[in-house]
Amino acid sequence: MANTSTRFAGHGRRADATMMAHRPQRQVGGFLLEALIAIAIFAFAVLGIVSLQTQSIRFTNESHYRAEAVYLTSALIARMWADDRAQLFAKYDKASAGTGYTAFKKLASNLPGTDIAGNEPEVHIVDGPSTSSSVVDVRIRWQLPGEGSPHQYAATSVVGQN
């Protein structure tokens, strides 16, 4: 029987000729494909994180503007408590456009979109449950750029004695 084994150069081992014939071919480009898939997965992850960060900033801005609206409304009602009740309508009601209302409107203009028609602050004062009190309804609207509808904060309070 003839010797069918050959010697690998530099390895000192012998291999059967049949094993040499069925030797698998080398993979070419496998690492490149794995790298491209890893880059694609990483890119989608980065896009997701950027989207979450954008939403976080938007919610933070909305929260800031809502807190500002709450502060402005509370401060206005506190000024009304300290002011003469007989002068509330003349000073603060939107219909009378007194000094208190115009000052409140100027402060509210720090919120975005208050200059859009229909978004101006509203203050309505009517007689209260007793002859020495008034019911005050305050509404502030603001609208961020690109939003279709405004945000609103409303507060109702009884000012005076019950």
DSSP secondary structure code for residue 120 in this structure: S
pLDDT digits (tens, 9 = 90+) for 16-47: 555 555 666 666 677 888 999 999 999 999 99
Could you tell me if 155 and 146 are in contact, meaning their C-beta atoms sit under 8 angstroms apart?
no
> Which amino acid appears at position 83 of this protein?
D
Could you tell me if 116 and 143 are in contact, meaning their C-beta atoms sit under 8 angstroms apart?
yes
Residue 15 has pLDDT above 60, yes or no: no
Mean pLDDT score across all residues of the chain: 85
**What's the confidence (pLDDT) of residue 37?**
95
> Is 2 inside a domain boundary?
no
**What's the confidence (pLDDT) of residue 3?**
55
Confidence of residue 87 (pLDDT cuts 50, 70, 90): confident
Round to whole Å and give the CA distance between 123 and 103.
12
**What's the confidence (pLDDT) of residue 152?**
94
> Is 37 inside a domain boundary?
yes
Q: Higher model confidence: residue 105 or residue 30?
A: 105
Q: How many domains does the chain have?
A: 1
In terms of residue numbers, what domain contains 109? 30-160
> Is 9 inside a domain boundary?
no
> Is 54 inside a domain boundary?
yes
Residue 77 has pLDDT above 80, yes or no: yes
> Is 110 inside a domain boundary?
yes
Round to whole Å and give the CA distance between 43 and 51.
12
> Is 67 inside a domain boundary?
yes
